[in-house]
């Protein structure tokens, strides 16, 4: 059973799992700056601008059937930025 706490922004499944998606988003943004050699501005203007990026991150965080989160880095020549898969 999935529940949303509007005040805390927490997602929970049953009683064992609670995830703050905003904390995960901040963590991922900071991690990708290091892993991809990106500028923070690049991450800010690309990664979470895709309509389904937050939903994909949420699914990764709470769904055991989603064991991986893939991030694609595109170069300047084909730049659409980063995208979560």
Strand 10-13, strand 17-20: pairing? antiparallel
C-beta of residue 35 within 8 angstroms of C-beta of residue 69: no
pLDDT score of 83 more than 80: no
CB-count exposure of residue 25 (10 Å: 0-12, 13-18, 19+): middle
- Give the model's confidence band at 82: pLDDT under 50 very low, under 70 low, under 90 confident, else very high: low
What pLDDT is attached to residue 2?
A: 44
pTM, to two decimals: 0.61
Domain count for the chain:
1
Instruction: Answer whether residue 74 shows pLDDT above 80.
Output: no
Distance from chain centroid for Cα 17: 17
Q: How far apart are CA 68 and CA 25, in angstroms?
A: 15
Domain that holds residue 42: 2-84
**Please, what is the average pLDDT of the chain?**
74
């Amino acid at each position: 059973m999935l529940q949303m706490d509007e005040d805390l922004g927490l997602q929970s499944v049953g009683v064992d799992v609670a995830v703050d998606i905003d904390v995960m988003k901040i963590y991922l943004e900071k991690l990708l700056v290091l892993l991809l050699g990106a500028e923070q501005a690049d991450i800010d203007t690309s990664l979470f601008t895709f309509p389904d990026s937050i939903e994909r991150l949420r699914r990764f965080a709470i769904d055991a059937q989603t064991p991986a989160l893939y991030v694609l880095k595109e170069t300047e020549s084909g730049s659409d930025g980063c995208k979560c898969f």
